[in-house]
Amino acid sequence: MKTKMENLEQVSSNKIFGGQQRVYSHESSELKCKMNFSLYLPPQAEGGDVKLPVIYYLSGLTCTEQNFITKSGFQRYAAEHGIIVIGPDTSPRGVKIDGDDESWDFGVSAGFYLDAAKEPWSKNYRMGSYLNTELYDLILKAFSNVVDPDRIGIMGHSMGGHGALVSTLRNPGQYKSVSAFAPICNPTACPWGVKAFNGYLGEDKAKWVEWDATELVKKYEGPPLTLLIDQGAADKFYIEKQLLPENLVEACRSVGVPVILNLREGYDHSYYYISSFIGEHFDFHAKILKA
């Protein structure tokens, strides 16, 4: 049954590991369209008498809010640790911009978690502000009885790993913990990033570096932060130099920002890889958010 709360419409709810895996929709003022997001409420949220930490999970290219909740098996670990998990979609939906569905790595399902500066994308493709302001504030308001605003982390995969890193570095202190699976670490230096940034931001490369984790970390001045990067060594996109985690590690070390890079032999870019190590990432976030 669909229910309304604040600006939210509950689309679905399924019990899993004692908690509730839900999907909500709402009208986004930033993106000017209806958006879905997933929300996992662990069993500790029942009754609403305790405030729990939160982790945002950002998905990668071609994904919706569904991929992570159906393929990763994260709910087991979120339930064990008592962590609420939010999963936004990856781009605006149904805004019908010419060319938005011509390729899998630009346009629909490929918003890159940035605010577009180039027409016609700048009207709707504002995933950076949507995630870090609109949705963030909506969650704090709509679930104020269970969300602890001082214990929020973020993680992501591939394009979503880029989004998690950039969101943390651009908004110091907003996210207390951050990790990423196979993130696009240096988009200004890889084909995926060059295509997306030229399309969304235009030719001014000064704007590009504002959405590149490797560049942003060089001038990070926020609260102490440790970056956890997980990378499959057999990932074809890693081999093809689309992800470039070593560039981010080098930048972190040049300015003294702690970084962990786990290179996983034999693992690829898929959710088989993510599900193998998602428990370790929840352990990492829980140690920080529940300290």
Q: Would residue 135 be called left, alpha or beta, if left means φ above 0 and alpha means ψ between -120 and 50 degrees?
A: alpha
Q: What angle do CA 108, 122, 213 make, to 5 degrees?
A: 75
CA distance 237 to 59: 16
CA distance 287 to 291: 6
CA distance 56 to 133: 13
DSSP state at residue 40: E
CA distances from 281 to 10, 57, 141, 181, 257 (A): 28, 11, 27, 9, 19
CA distance 81 to 153: 13
- 32 backbone dihedrals φ, ψ, rounded to 5°: 60, 45
DSSP state at residue 287: H
Residue type, 15: K
In this structure, the dihedral spanned by the alpha carbons of residues 227, 230, 236 and 242, taken in order and rounded to 10 degrees, is 0
Q: Looking at the annotation, which residues are catalytic?
A: 158, 235, 269
Q: What length is written for the chain?
A: 291
E strand residue ranges, 42-82: 52-58
